[in-house]
């Protein structure tokens, strides 16, 4: 039996679903967090299907187009509870709260998708949209299960939020996806190539779809031919580059110092040095006050641009490719490599 198209786009997420089930036993507000293309929205929408009633909002792709929260709550009241909003926002929130509190746990799911355009450099809601904090504070007092998706962490001091870092898809999911699209990956050499591709793109779900479509459309299903042509430039196509470019551009606008350090990280070759200690990153901050260095390190982590596990850091190959390209165009190319060489020498000795 073949895999249905609906199931095909949701491969490899059984563990994520189980994780959300467990988290919602003790948390009301959960942010599904990670870089672009991981499948955060798909996971939230698929998980929301288990609720009898779903209230959903796509925040916006650009900050200029963010929907005012007042309009959102008014629409929810009218469409889902057949009640008119109050003249004051506080009254409208109270009415929504009353309706939600009357529902049993597990009946209503709420999805706020693509949160980051509404957040500032510190992970707080931007001026003009601070009422979102009040909405989330009210939702946390109800039995509703609230899922938010974001590339950036939400860091509002008055909110108790759990951040679930969505991992990339496993290699098995990539294999199933390519096989379902009639791309042969069973042979040993093809399996090795797919493994290299999976690693290069960090298991990214959107990259999987883009690459598979290119293999089929441009290379007649020949995985080897595609990889010979593209392995040296992971961001050769516009669709793949867009996965990371918009995120890096946002960093450049919000936090120039963190952006500069991100570009400098392109000097490290992760094929030779798969993981970095914090000292290797701090060495690239030669022009930044020591008191602000850890803040920049955390900012890159919070924006899903720098991976972290058990005291070790790294850029996924796609992010490294973009960082390296930008570093080549900056005056930091030589100083960054010299700083990296110095820290490598001290570690080795």
Burial letters 182-217, b for 16+ CB under 10 A, else e = ebebeeeebeebbeebbebbbbbbbbbbbbbebbbe
87: Cα within 13 Å, side-chain hemisphere: 0
CA angle 107, 112, 113 (to 5 degrees): 125
Q: Report the relative pairing of strands 29-33 and 145-150 from DSSP bridges.
A: parallel
Q: List, in sequence order, every residue forming a beta bridge with 165; answer none if it has no partner.
A: 33
Instruction: Over range 341-345, report the average pLDDT.
Output: 69
For the chain, which residues make up each domain, given as ranges? 5-165, 171-232, 245-348
Q: How many helices (H) and strands (E) does the chain have?
A: 16, 7
The first and second tokens of residue 88, run together, are 């004051």
Instruction: Over range 242-265, report the average pLDDT.
Output: 94
The first and second tokens of residue 190, run together, are 């093809």
- Out of 21-25, 183-187, 223-227, which region has the weakest mean confidence (pLDDT)? 183-187
The three-state secondary structure class of 29 is: strand
Using only C-alpha atoms, the chain has a radius of gyration, in whole angstroms, of: 22
- Out of 75-79, 147-151, 275-279, 327-331, which region has the weakest mean confidence (pLDDT)? 275-279
Q: What is d(CA 289, CA 336) in angstroms, rounded to the nearest whole number?
A: 17
What pLDDT, on a 0 to 100 scale, did the predictor assign at position 271? 61
Neighbouring C-beta atoms of residue 219, cutoff 10 Å: 17
CA distances from 56 to 76, 109, 145, 190, 326 (A): 9, 8, 12, 41, 37
Q: Check whether 2 has a pLDDT greater than 60.
A: no
What pLDDT, on a 0 to 100 scale, did the predictor assign at position 7? 55
Pick the CATH number of 245-348 from 3.40.50, 1.10.10, 3.40.190, 1.10.287: 1.10.10
- Out of 284-298, 301-315, 335-349, which region has the weakest mean confidence (pLDDT)? 335-349
Instruction: Over range 31-41, report the average pLDDT.
Output: 94
234 vs 148, residue with greater confidence: 148
Q: What is d(CA 203, CA 212) in angstroms, rounded to the nearest whole number?
A: 13
Q: Check whether 155 has a pLDDT greater than 80.
A: yes
What pLDDT, on a 0 to 100 scale, did the predictor assign at position 185? 80
Q: Check whether 273 has a pLDDT greater than 90.
A: no
Instruction: Over range 267-274, report the average pLDDT.
Output: 75
Model confidence pLDDT, tens digit, residues 102-135: 999 889 999 999 999 999 999 999 999 999 999 9
CA distances from 279 to 107, 288, 317, 346 (A): 48, 14, 21, 10
Q: Report the relative pairing of strands 312-314 and 307-309 from DSSP bridges.
A: antiparallel
Q: Check whether 58 has a pLDDT greater than 90.
A: no
Model confidence pLDDT, tens digit, residues 319-341: 999 999 999 999 999 999 999 98
**Are 332 and 339 within 8 A, CB to CB?**
no
**Are 147 and 172 within 8 A, CB to CB?**
no
Neighbouring C-beta atoms of residue 5, cutoff 10 Å: 8
Model confidence pLDDT, tens digit, residues 161-173: 999 999 999 999 9
Q: Is it true that 5-165 and 245-348 share their CATH fold?
A: no
- Note the residue count of the chain: 349
What values do phi and psi take at 330, rounded to 5? Answer: -115, 165
Closest-CA residue to 56 (of 67, 130, 101) = 67
Q: What is d(CA 45, CA 113) in angstroms, rounded to the nearest whole number?
A: 9
Neighbouring C-beta atoms of residue 137, cutoff 10 Å: 16
Burial of 141 (C-beta count, 10 Å sphere; 0-12/13-18/19+): exposed
Model confidence pLDDT, tens digit, residues 189-198: 888 999 999 9
**Are 140 and 22 within 8 A, CB to CB?**
no
Instruction: Over range 295-323, report the average pLDDT.
Output: 91
What pLDDT, on a 0 to 100 scale, did the predictor assign at position 346? 41
What fold is seen in the domain 5-165?
Answer: Rossmann fold (3.40.50)
What pLDDT, on a 0 to 100 scale, did the predictor assign at position 316? 85
Q: What DSSP string describes 187-243?
A: SHHHHHHHHHHHHHTTT-HHHHHHHHHHHHHHHTT-HHHHHHHHTT-TT-SHHHHHH
Q: Check whether 278 has a pLDDT greater than 70.
A: yes
What values do phi and psi take at 307, rounded to 5? Answer: -80, 150
| pLDDT, mean over the chain | 90
Q: For the chain, give the percent of residues with pLDDT over 90.
A: 75
CA dihedral 58, 50, 147, 118 (to 10 degrees): 0
């Amino acid at each position: 039996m073949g895999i249905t198209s609906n199931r095909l786009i949701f491969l490899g997420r059984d563990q994520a679903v189980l994780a959300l089930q467990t988290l919602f036993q003790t948390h009301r507000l959960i942010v599904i967090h990670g870089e672009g293309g991981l499948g955060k929205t798909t996971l939230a929408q698929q998980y929301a299907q288990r609720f009898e009633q779903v209230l959903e909002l796509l925040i916006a792709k650009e900050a200029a187009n963010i929907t005012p929260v007042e309009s959102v709550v008014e629409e929810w009241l009218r469409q889902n509870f057949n009640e008119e909003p109050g003249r004051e926002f506080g009254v409208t929130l109270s009415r929504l709260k009353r309706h939600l509190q009357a529902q049993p746990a597990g009946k209503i799911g709420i999805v706020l998708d693509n949160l980051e355009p509404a957040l500032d450099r510190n992970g707080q809601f931007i001026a003009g949209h601070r009422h979102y904090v009040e909405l989330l504070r009210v939702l946390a007092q109800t039995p509703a299960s609230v899922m938010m998706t974001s590339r950036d962490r939400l860091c509002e001091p008055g909110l108790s939020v759990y951040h679930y870092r969505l991992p990339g898809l496993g290699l098995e999911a990539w294999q199933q996806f390519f096989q379902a699209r009639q791309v042969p990956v069973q042979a040993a050499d093809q399996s090795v190539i797919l493994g290299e591709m999976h690693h290069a793109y960090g298991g990214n779900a959107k990259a999987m779809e883009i690459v598979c479509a290119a293999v089929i459309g441009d290379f007649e299903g020949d995985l080897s031919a595609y990889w010979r042509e593209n392995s040296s430039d992971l961001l050769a196509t516009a669709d793949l580059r867009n996965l990371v470019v918009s995120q890096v551009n946002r960093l450049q606008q919000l936090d120039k110092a963190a952006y500069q350090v991100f570009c400098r990280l392109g000097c490290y070759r992760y094929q030779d040095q798969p993981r970095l200690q914090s000292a290797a990153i701090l060495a690239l901050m030669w022009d930044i006050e020591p008191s602000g260095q850890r803040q920049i390190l955390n900012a890159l982590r919070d924006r899903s641009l720098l991976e972290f596990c058990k005291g070790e850091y790294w850029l996924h190959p796609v992010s490294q490719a973009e960082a390296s390209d930008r570093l080549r165009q900056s005056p930091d190319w030589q100083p960054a490599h010299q700083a990296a060489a110095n820290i490598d020498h001290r570690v080795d000795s």
